[in-house]
Amino acid sequence: MEIAVIGTGYVGLVTGGCLSELGNNVTCIDIDEDKVATLKQGISPIYEDGLTELLQKNIENGNLHFTTDYKTGLSDKSLVYIAVGTPQGEDGSADLTYINTACESIARDLANDVVIVTKSTVPVGTNEYIKDKIETNLEKNITVKIASNPEFLRQGSAVHDTFNADRIVIGSDDEEALQTLEKANADFNLPIVKTDLRSAEMIKYASNAFLATKISFINEMANLSEKIGANIDHVAKGMGMDARIGNAFLNAGIGYGGSCFPKDTRAIISIGKDAAYDMPILENVVESNDRQRGILVDKILERYETIKGKKVAVLGLAFKPNTDDMREAPSILVTEKLLVEGAIVNAYDPVASDNAKKILPEQINYTSSIEEAVEDADITIILTEWKEIKAFPLEHYKKHMTNAVIFDGRNCFELEGAAGSGVEYHSIGRPTVNG
């Protein structure tokens, strides 16, 4: 099929890459000239294992193209995916500025009949708005149909997730649009859920809100376990073996971050407000997560009278492993709090340091290895469970640090291993080990 994808963020790039891998002729359009120039050379601006190879392969075989020019990009395309950002607005609702601009450009340069497919996460009713916006601005006599195809990929494993998704959701109020989209997705060989436009939009928010709720729930169970002498590893295992609960997303930690859960939970609350419907569960999920992000620093301040002048090593800055994305990463609040308390902060992340430098406080010293970060440190804080950080033995902290005290926000180490390691090991929802 002839396909255009608008926006080359995580979602646009992976959508374009995977659809071209299936043999479609795909052109990705982005207004960011630097990004497009980089992509044309087959270099992915996003860090994910295997993504650059996928892009390069399909650029070389002529299935994947990049442009800043809508007219060229839209020419002869039968499917046009919209994958621009929908960030959080000031009042918590989704900001549709990029959607609006994309619609105006599509309407200006569209020259043939198309099905517009919305990949971006958009509030319920937005697909109808997009159709209307494009139709009222069209310069030619063209038929535009609209469908919703929400995205469920996870950063860091997005290409794998696309080819191995649990389901593909396609929604439209137009039978022909549904059929076209079903055909476009047939080669993924995955279960397809067909529904109407509004239900498809709602499935996306309900899924993210549920997963965020599951994380906040296990975090609260972890905090309570710690206070009453239980171990969250055992609690989560025992809960997760019940098929009705499931063991996924029961990893307690310092709260969820990233470009989606924080903004989408706030957006669905805002959708509820517009519909005059309060959602106390989700309001408390947001509050619970905000509190969770501060929990390690609270623990540190309970353990020490003051951390003024103490050397603190922060390991892991990205919001989760295998990505360089710093959006809503817990490291933002943690490093700010440490500096306010007067600590000297060293930080290490295998790939996110360049992005971190753009948003974290400038007093932070970035190091190029774990060893360098923890050398002579009084406290180490672990914020991202990178493989490299999990593989760094506890005994090495003892060797490098002035005082081997670790506050682990991701439960990277087994308690059995901590015992006898010479490290004072604090984690989430588990007893402290004085090894």
Active site residues: 260
Which residue of 81, 98, 366, 413 would you call a contact of ligand NAI, by CB under 6 A? 98
Residue 256 binds which of ligand NAI, ligand UGA, none (CB < 5-8 A, kind-dependent): ligand UGA
Verify binding: residue 256, ligand NAI, rule CB under 6 A: no
Query: Of ligand UGA, ligand NAI, none, which one does residue 253 interact with (CB within 5 to 8 Å by kind)?
Result: ligand UGA
Find the shortest distance in angstroms from Cβ 412 to ligand NAI. 23
Does the protein bind ligand NAI through residue 6 (CB under 6 A)? yes
Query: Which residue of this chain has its Cβ atom nearest to ligand NAI in the complex?
Result: 9
Q: Of 124, 105, 47, nearest to 325 (Cα)?
A: 47
Residue with tokens 């996870």: 154
156 binds ligand NAI (CB under 6 A): no
Could you say whether residue 259 binds ligand NAI (CB under 6 A)?
Answer: yes
Name which of 256, 251, 280, 253 is nearest 268 in CA terms: 280
Rounded to a whole number of angstroms, the minimum distance from the CB of residue 106 to ligand NAI is: 9
**Cβ proximity of 405 and 434 under 8 Å:** no
Q: Which residues 6+ apart lie within 8 Å of 37 measured at CB?
A: none
CB of 398 to ligand UGA, least distance (A): 27
Angle at 122 between CA 117 and CA 123, to 5 degrees: 130
Residue type, position 17, single letter: G
30 makes contact with ligand NAI (CB under 6 A):
yes
Q: Which is nearer to ligand NAI, 100 or 199 (CB)?
A: 100
Residue 72 found at the interface with ligand NAI (CB under 6 A): no
State phi, psi for 116 to the nearest 5 degrees: -90, 130
Residue nearest to ligand UGA (CB): 260
118 binds ligand NAI per the rule CB under 6 A = no
CA angle 323, 328, 333 (to 5 degrees): 115
CB–CB of 45/36 below 8 Å? Answer: no
CB of 11 to ligand NAI, least distance (A): 4
Min CB(156)–ligand UGA separation in Å: 7
User: Residue 31's binding partner, choosing from ligand UGA, ligand NAI, none, with beta-carbon cut-off 5 to 8 A by kind?
Assistant: ligand NAI
Cα separation, 410 vs 384, in Å, equals 6
What is the contact surface with ligand NAI in residues (CB under 6 A)? 6-12, 29-32, 35, 83-86, 98, 101-102, 105, 119-121, 151, 153, 155, 259-260
